[in-house]
Amino acid sequence: MHLYLSSYLTGDQVHRLSQLAGGKTALLVSNALDFSNDSERLRCAGEREIARLADTGIPAESLDLRDYFDSRDILAEKVSAAGMLWVVGGNTFLLRKAMYLSGLDQLIQSKLDDMDFLYGGYSAGICVLSPSLRGIHLADEPEAQSYGYEHPAIWEGLGIIDYYIVPHYRCDHFESDHMEAVVDYYLENDLPYRAISDGEVILDKTHS
Query: CA-to-CA distance for 34 and 32, rounded, in angstroms?
Result: 6
Beta strand 2-6 with 201-205 is antiparallel
Query: Are 193 and 134 in contact, with CB atoms under 8 Å apart?
Result: no
Written as tens digits, the pLDDT of the chain (208 aa) is 999 999 999 999 999 999 999 999 999 999 999 987 777 878 888 899 999 999 999 999 999 999 999 877 889 999 999 999 999 999 999 999 999 999 999 999 999 999 999 999 999 999 999 999 999 999 999 988 888 888 899 999 999 999 999 999 999 988 889 999 999 999 999 999 999 999 999 999 987 6
Nearest to 91 by CA among 145, 50, 27: 145
Query: Are 31 and 104 in contact, with CB atoms under 8 Å apart?
Result: no
Q: What's residue 149's pLDDT?
A: 87
Residue 85: is it exposed, middle or buried by C-beta count within 10 angstroms (0-12/13-18/19+)? buried
Q: What's residue 60's pLDDT?
A: 96
What structural domains does the chain harbor? Answer: 2-205 (3.40.50.880)
Residues 6+ apart with CB under 8 A from 208: 112, 113
- Rounded to 5 degrees, φ, ψ at 43 are -60, -45
Query: CA-to-CA distance for 13 and 6, rounded, in angstroms?
Result: 9
Q: Tell me the residue type at 8.
A: Y
Q: Tell me the residue type at 180.
A: E
Q: What's residue 208's pLDDT?
A: 61
For the chain, where are the E strands, in sequence order?
2-6, 26-29, 60-62, 84-87, 118-122, 164-166, 193-195, 201-205
Q: What's residue 150's pLDDT?
A: 83
Q: Tell me the residue type at 155.
A: W
